Structure 1
């Protein structure tokens, strides 16, 4: 049984001739002539994709990029103890990296659009997940290279390991003078290169590629210890960034829950939200469509942040209509007016749908158990005191029955609905018949 499992998972099955694989790897290392032109064009395409925030264009650039060649070559060189192959691979990788940085920096420097898009931001804070993607993506790539039938994993590996976007983002950081972006993106690029190289080394050793020359055990240990040390050096900051990312997402979820429960569910439309997680204390800045909060309410809301486990954070409510109008005008002037208008419209529609979402049929079934005389109901939210500072929204239930409920029964129905719908105030009326 164990033999069958081992045979089923044996990588030697369908393996290409080792000498042929090595020749193929060596031929893809060099960056001369056409390879250099293809790399430069791919960098420009990737930079445009990042600049306009187009995922499809970025993927296209990754597919035509020849950057994987020297990285795979370095891994093979280490695996077969070929120092000349390692030197040649690293030299060509260095050339490719410098060319890529020069081309991307030039593009972003000349581009009139300097805004930091989400696709750019995604490449500035690498974490442990990027490390895992690079390692397992590299494994897939090397396994595919060593097969007789190459199949279709290679394009997928080019996309998954994402060598181009971090280099372009590093160029963007240089172009706008943001060293944090530059070093963050360059670190992500380094992680990808190192772990693709490590995965290549492991597969080469597993498939027992012959060494080009005899190397003593001391030298072999030095290589293994060096790669282990390099892995740890890359992992430690990656784990830190992963923890930071997890903490930020967790804190964002808490803030979203706070805004949802304290404002949205109470009928307040949020037209502006800004969260500054880098300040000390952290700051949540909000603005609303038609409501002003007095200082006592704002103080109470700040205290309620602790109930949602939101620590070291201050809530600021922007109530100056002049500033809100200025913000909207700034959005228009910066070319974001359409997107902002859509965001407001979507927010308003979501709030309206959520506020009127009552299952009348299910509620009627429950109500008839307690009040059999009620034949039908209709419940929805209604706004009261519109266009005033004291405007509020609460549910109104209209019921059909042959006779009106007595005052005690009506009060009992109100109390039951308040508990059932988690609402502080509910009004109940009988439908008048002609």
Structure 2
């Protein structure tokens, strides 16, 4: 039995043994050294890659951003730093660090120049995604760095290096940092640069650990006391880098739980026949749950009863604020008719065509309501980044009738609650952004204090 156990562990060791495919150490070091310097062709490739990534972020194109990451040479000096610390090569460490700083400065300057000259200066979702790092980004950098180092030190590299370049996403944070400088938004700059620093630290850490696991030979003999100091310094850098990300992750998880609790609360306590919940959002600053309802009015007693149940959904710290929408009886009546429509075999062709047209029109109207409900939720997150003074937003499709004629028109209404007064310039900029974001031909903006 003992012999069988030993055989099993030997088999596992054979499968997981990295050293079996290990490349010659000197060859690996030479490959890393050749990829760390930024001059001539390498420098121009970096500049073009930054321009491409900035363009991708500007037009919100994931495919373009991925293409830029594939041709980016930024991984070289970062892995060089990790390898140099792992084998205690001071010369390699200095060269890697200098080239890393050169690449970083040139990348940020290139991105800044692009965003200064581009006519498109609105922050897109791909760009905003790089301003709030979390522990998930730490894990991506650590695992990506480990995969990249193993690929560099083994004979069969395959498609690992391009995949690591995409997964760790070194380019977009630098481009976003350049955008922050170009538009004068320091929160964008620091958030994006922090994400880039996370990637750097944990790719270096993964490379350092890899050199120890694969047992690379040290180029310099260092006494045990200095080795302990190096390890303590690295541990301090790693912990200090993780702390802000850990805090942001806690906030993200807390917000996610609160949003799920709000959805459960609305579904269980405020879902009634004839009432449509248009939007629901959380105002953390005022500790308010803002819910916009259309259709049948929710009574004051019902609202009061629902407020008492907030604690059951871990929402006791919030106040319930229900904004009652306009009546939509005609739409609700059509919806009821739609559910009871049956196609009779004896119905003539004309009747079938009329019913089909009515159903199609109803589906379009229902789709409009659900679209603007989800759109309000999507826009609120982006709105907080672009216009921090805005605390609430509700978006709806309105049909307006004239009192002295049968004429009517449709347009989108956006109701904004702002803590600060908007001047005419900012109001126009907000209206143009909302019009573009909602893809609306006509949009009416209402700003309330």
Q: Please give the TM-score of this superposition, normalised by the length of structure 2.
A: 0.69
The residue aligned with 1:133 is: 140
Deviation at 1:253, TM superposition (A): 0.6
In structure 2, how many angstroms separate the alpha carbons of the residues matched to 1:323 and 1:63? 39
Secondary structure, in 3 states, of the residue corresponding to 1:13?
A: helix
Deviation at 1:332, TM superposition (A): 8.3
Deviation at 1:214, TM superposition (A): 1.7
The residue aligned with 1:287 is: 292
Secondary structure, in 3 states, of the residue corresponding to 1:284?
A: strand
- Residue in structure 2 matching 1:189, options 196, 215, 228: 196
The residue aligned with 2:163 is: 156
The residue aligned with 2:249 is: 242
For residues 4-25 of structure 1, the C-alpha deviation after alignment (integer angstroms, 9 at most, x for no partner) is: 3223221111211111111110
- Residue in structure 1 matching 2:436, options 335, 339, 347: 335
Deviation at 1:270, TM superposition (A): 3.3
Structure 2 counterparts to residues 93-104 of structure 1, below 5 A: 93-104=100-111
Over 3 Å counting, the alpha-carbon distance change for 1:171 and 1:311 in structure 2 is farther
Deviation at 1:306, TM superposition (A): 2.6
In structure 2, how many angstroms separate the alpha carbons of the residues matched to 1:265 and 1:253? 19
For residues 226-280 of structure 1, the C-alpha deviation after alignment (integer angstroms, 9 at most, x for no partner) is: 1111111122222222211111110111112223334455443333444333x0x
The residue aligned with 2:64 is: 57
In structure 2, how many angstroms separate the alpha carbons of the residues matched to 1:237 and 1:81? 29
In structure 1, how many angstroms separate the alpha carbons of the residues matched to 2:124 and 2:186? 17
| Greater mean alpha carbon deviation, residues 13-22 or residues 51-60 | 51-60
The residue aligned with 2:312 is: 307
The residue aligned with 1:24 is: 31
Structure 1: runs of 5+ lacking an equivalent: 342-434
1:142 pairs with 2:149: yes
Deviation at 1:111, TM superposition (A): 3.1
Which has the greater radius of gyration?
1
In structure 1, how many angstroms separate the alpha carbons of the residues matched to 2:38 and 2:61? 28
1:106 pairs with 2:113: yes
Conserved 8 A contact 1:39-1:100: yes
Q: CA RMSD in A?
A: 2.7
Conserved 8 A contact 1:273-1:287: yes
Over 3 Å counting, the alpha-carbon distance change for 1:310 and 1:288 in structure 2 is same
1:224 pairs with 2:231: yes
Q: Please give the TM-score of this superposition, normalised by the length of structure 1.
A: 0.71
In structure 2, how many angstroms separate the alpha carbons of the residues matched to 1:78 and 1:180? 32
In structure 2, how many angstroms separate the alpha carbons of the residues matched to 1:168 and 1:302? 45
Over 3 Å counting, the alpha-carbon distance change for 1:338 and 1:64 in structure 2 is same
The residue aligned with 1:71 is: 78
Deviation at 1:94, TM superposition (A): 0.9
Over 3 Å counting, the alpha-carbon distance change for 1:315 and 1:43 in structure 2 is farther
Over 3 Å counting, the alpha-carbon distance change for 1:336 and 1:36 in structure 2 is same
Conserved 8 A contact 1:263-1:269: no
Structure 2: runs of 5+ lacking an equivalent: 1-6, 327-393, 397-411, 416-429, 443-449
